[in-house]
Amino acid sequence: MNLKKNIGLIYGGNSNEREISILSAQNVEVALKDLGYNIFKYDLKTEFNIFLKEYNKIDLVFNVVHGYEGEDGQLQKKLEDLNIKYIGSNSIVSKLTFDKLLFSKTIENNFSVPKYINVEKYIEPPFQFPLIIKPRKSGSSLGIHICHNLKEYEFFLKKELEIYNEMIIQEYIKGREISVSIIEKNSETIVLPILEIKPKKEFYDYEAKYTDGLTDFEVPAKLDKRLEKKIITDFEKIFKKIGLKDFARIDAIIRENEYYILEANTVPGLTKLSDLPQSAYAYGLTFNNLIDILIKNNL
């Protein structure tokens, strides 16, 4: 317990994941209080100017802004320019992983990813139905659709292009959805127990992610031991190769004992329903333990 350390909790922001960020911040705030830290909260949307006046008293920033600004390197770059310590990956790594196209291009020579095409305008379906469309840059499964026919494809692609400007069209791989959370403790990289996501809807969309009862989780997931070992080894390699720091979550699909990587998240959700806290608990860490490890990595 350290009553002298001041933690700046930055949350909220302007993205369509604002509500989830607020829930994450509430959880983290309770843990920080339990751990004895002084907490200074700043909503990125309305209070960043206050933070800029007070940042000299902050020992460490805990960023829980999900999506645009908080996860794409913008906030990280501002903190770096101010020479402020913060939890999580740096601005360059954050920018890379938030961009699903760049992330796939970075890893596809060494690891399996679904086939994909990036578009800025409507094109005829490049893959058989069903297929996936998703924003090049977004989170919390917002803007993602499984399209089963031409009518759905045309409607959703045109609609989401108006919102996001760029969309990725991806082959649909039907399989088991897994979430692999990785943390650092001091300088040791720990792959937490693999979590299998079993949504009661067709896939793990925004509603399924954040509505209690719409998704079942199995952690640790029941996997073939050789496949499990390969996932642990490969995902740790990705964590280190890309330069992820403190904590991250990598999502994938398993089909016939092969995995396909979907994306990496540098500011994973920290709500009560979020994947990383569940995997940490299965490893034997309470939520408070998890938060304390992340802070002590940086202080």
Encoding tokens for residue 78?
A: 């501002």
How far is it, in rounded angstroms, from Cα 53 to Cα 151? 52
Question: What is the count of structural domains for the chain?
Answer: 3
How far is it, in rounded angstroms, from Cα 247 to Cα 214? 26
> Do residue 102 and residue 139 come from a single domain?
no
CATH of the domain at 291: 3.30.470.20
> Do residue 214 and residue 288 come from a single domain?
yes
> Do residue 138 and residue 251 come from a single domain?
no
* Local confidence pLDDT in tens for the 299 residues of the chain: 445 899 999 999 998 889 999 999 999 999 999 999 999 999 999 999 999 999 999 999 999 999 889 999 999 999 999 999 999 999 999 999 999 999 999 999 999 999 999 999 999 999 999 999 999 987 656 789 999 999 999 999 999 999 999 999 999 999 999 999 999 998 899 999 999 998 776 655 556 555 667 778 999 999 999 999 999 999 999 999 999 999 999 999 999 989 999 999 999 999 877 899 999 999 999 999 999 999 999 99
Q: Is the peptide bond before 130 cis (omega within 30 degrees of 0)?
A: yes
Encoding tokens for residue 40?
A: 């200074």
Residue 218 in any domain: the answer is yes
Structural domain boundaries, residue 167 = 116-171
> Do residue 21 and residue 128 come from a single domain?
no
Any idea which residue has 């206050």 for tokens? 50
Residue pLDDT, tens place only, 49-61:
999 999 999 999 9
Q: Give the pLDDT of residue 211.
A: 62
* pTM passes above 0.75: yes
Residue 1 in any domain: the answer is no
How far is it, in rounded angstroms, from Cα 79 to Cα 85? 7
Domain boundary among 132, 154, 171: 171
Q: Give the pLDDT of residue 164.
A: 92
> Do residue 163 and residue 32 come from a single domain?
no
Average pLDDT, the chain: 93
Q: What percent of the chain has pLDDT over 90?
A: 84
How far is it, in rounded angstroms, from Cα 73 to Cα 84? 14
Contact 100, 119 (CB under 8 A): no
CATH of the domain at 156: 3.30.1490.20
CA angle 168, 244, 75 (to 5 degrees): 75
Contact 128, 150 (CB under 8 A): no
> Do residue 77 and residue 134 come from a single domain?
no
Q: Is the peptide bond before 220 cis (omega within 30 degrees of 0)?
A: yes
Other beta carbons less than 10 A from residue 207's beta carbon? 12
Q: Strand, coil or helix: what is 148? A: coil
Buried/exposed 101-126: b ≥16 CB within 10 Å, e otherwise: eebbebbeeebebbebebeeeeeeee
Longest dimension (CA), the chain: 60
Could you tell me how far CA 175 lies from the centroid of its own chain?
20
Domain boundary among 156, 171, 186: 171
The half-sphere exposure of 105 on its side-chain side, counting CA atoms within 13 A, is: 10
Residue pLDDT, tens place only, 201-256:
665 555 655 566 777 899 999 999 999 999 999 999 999 999 999 999 999 999 99
